[in-house]
Chain A
Amino acid sequence: MADLLFELGVEELPALAVSGIRDQLRDLFLARLDQDQIAHGSIECVASNRRLMVHVPQIPEKTVSKEETVLGPAKRIALDDRGLPTVALKKFCEFQKVKLTDVVEIDTPKGKYLGISRAGGGKDVAALLAAAIPGILAGLTFSKTMLWNDSRQPFIRPVKNILVLFNNKLLDVEFAGVKSSNKVFGHLLLSDSYFEANSFKDYIQGLSKNFIILMEDERKSKILTEILDVEEELACQVKLDDDMLNYYLYGNEYPVVFSGTFDAKYLRLPAEIIATFMTHEKKLLPVVDRAGKLTNHFVGVANIPDENKKVSRGNEKVIQAAFEDAQFFWEIDRKEDFFALKQLLKNVVFQKELGTYFEKVERLASLVDLLVNETQHGSLRAKLQKAAFNCKNDLLTKMVREFPSLQGIMGGLYLQAAGEDETVWKAIYGHYRPRGLTDEKLADLGAGILSVADRMDNIAGFIGKGIKISSSKDPYGIRRDANAVIKIIMDLELDLDLAPLIRLAALNFAKNDADLEQNCKTIRELFAARLENYLKDYLKYRYDVVNAVMGQDTLLIRDKFLKAQAVAKLVDSGMIEPLAALHRRLKNICSDSERCNFSEGLLKEKEEKILSDVFKESKSRIDGLIMKKNFLQASSEILEMKPIIDRFFEKILVMDKNVPLRNNRIALLQHIDELLSAVADFSLLVEIKPGGKT
């Protein structure tokens, strides 16, 4: 057994791209090892912004030897009527560089073939790897590539060195004009350029001597531990999200956490602005006190130890200057009449073919009108329409032009500062939320309604424009918009049927009636699919529970959730089996029959009369429960009728020869089926085991 060490030294990769490139490299390496039939043990692949390393501690020197067959043409094609070789066979031999006499007959499931059999495998792994590596590197894909030398090899950043040690021997490899060598570069600032590595041990020791923490988990735990230290020291909390952690983890080979302070007078700026300037602009982390209030501390990660506090002092000056800028934007923007900006939106294109933002906000106001009606919040109409008309004005402010991630938020803050009504500014402030399903729970009704309008307008616009989405392609984030609508409805408990909203939104973009119908259908299907995904993959309801509630063609999002919740509870409480059995039995009879009319006068037998009476008495109560969305109680009340229904089935022959009698009985059962189906299609529950959630 041998071992393989590969390192690609590069100039600084974009920090947030590193882990993706590492994964690609590992996948390509593994695929190539498999393709070359190189058996191998575990493979370790780690990366920083300046190096990508692959280590395979157990790798054979030669691939396994074995007999290999190469299939040629089918026998009936290879030989003519007289049994003589055809052109096809001759070409095959020529291509394989074998004589006709080497050809043998091979039995395959498809019939008899001619081909050759020869010794395969046993290849020199070092040679295979040396040949494979340039192709692996050329196979990496990046969102943007560059050229820098005569090799004209596109890559994400210039390649500095290639180290390939196979059994401690350097393999000859060339990529992007760089020849492999034993040189390994140390820390950009702290080490003397490079050291030589002749083994994996050399490599690891050399790196640690040269201030490189190679292992990602070591770097990560160093960062996290040092942040904890700061939190303890300052008795506060450092706001670290995944993006910033990845930025630090992959942007530093020797991460060191530092902290600093800024003049507390800047805390008078809105907290949202401070946080955005710190993280987006300066790559520093905000620090909050125990009550969650911003403090004048910040935390960052350097690539060197900061014993002299040079890094910390330097960053203090920089953050101070950034806040000066923030203050400038904040003041200069507020000199403008915010509402007057709306007219200027006539110059701002929303999307090609979808008009300007001015046209968009006009559409949003009409969608908001429908939404306040549908959700019984008519009293908010005037305020939310005002918010809708002005929700995109902040695109024209200096602050948002500089920091697009503050859109919406700034509009809200500017209006709040101008003394605008709370409902109006809060609606604008929050209308870009949520950014994803995992965002914290939404609380502002106005913002939610405005956001639903905005998202629906996006969806209808892009679908109207003919944008198709697939599992891998969703360039305009249509799915994200649909998810956001679902989350808003859920968080704010809106009883909203999406159908009329979809129609109104689609009407704005439809070319003709047929187009409108088609687009509405596409959007409804999109929402049905997103809702199903939300219930199954996000809320983790069992697939049959979800199927049971997805059946009906309505888009009452919250109802479907509440039904799923009720059905899952029934599954958990063990009550589902009798309900499912009942519903299946009803369906068996009802689904084969036309819709029948029911008449009490045609009831003949005692059991059917009892059932009819009980049903009549229960129905209005159960309908009431369904109206109140108490689906659990409704289901259990239906279940209470089961003994009577069972008795009916026992005693009564539904398929009576007398047609009016038969149809009357079917009609009675159809009514019960409808009542049950108003909650869910219980017949679809297949795995009657406890656990409504997966």
Chain B
Amino acid sequence: MKQTALLAIVAILSTAPLLAQTAEQRAEATATSDVAELRSASRLPEAVKEARAAGTEEEEIANVVKDIQEKRLSSGEGVNTIRIMEENTTDGVSNKGISDFVAEQKAKGVQGEELGKAVKAELQARHRVRVEEGRGATERKEERTGTEEETLESQPTGRGGQGQGQKEKGQTGTQTPESRTEEETAEKPTEKTTK
């Protein structure tokens, strides 16, 4: 009994310095992380000011700052996100909805630099999609105007427009009123009414 008690005391005494060391290391680690948090927090107002000056959406800025307030984001992550949003705005791209994406990524456990990379990638992907959609829309428009002009060209122009020749693509067909009415009657014979 006495021996076990002695052994227990010895074991406790031997682990005490180790425990003290780990406690010191933890204290140092928290001190370093505190300083890092303080630095990032002190840069937050400047980052926000620059983002506002660039024209970044106020709603998105406010959402990120509120996430920092409610400890869903660290100060460093918040500042980094706002800086990425500012760069994005300078490139002429919208940041709408990006604060929701940040919240989703944090919920998945993405943090620190990885979060910044994910936000940047997401904004670039959204921009690409918008550019492609824009291109697609303009191509469709061109196709439509092209087919309309082709149908105009294929219509007989000889009746009212001898010597007019073929029209170039891109030009809108100009027809004399006489030829137009002749063509309309030619196209729609059923509409003739006998008076």
Partners in one complex: no
Residues of A within 8 A of B (CB): none
B: residues with CB less than 8 A from A are none
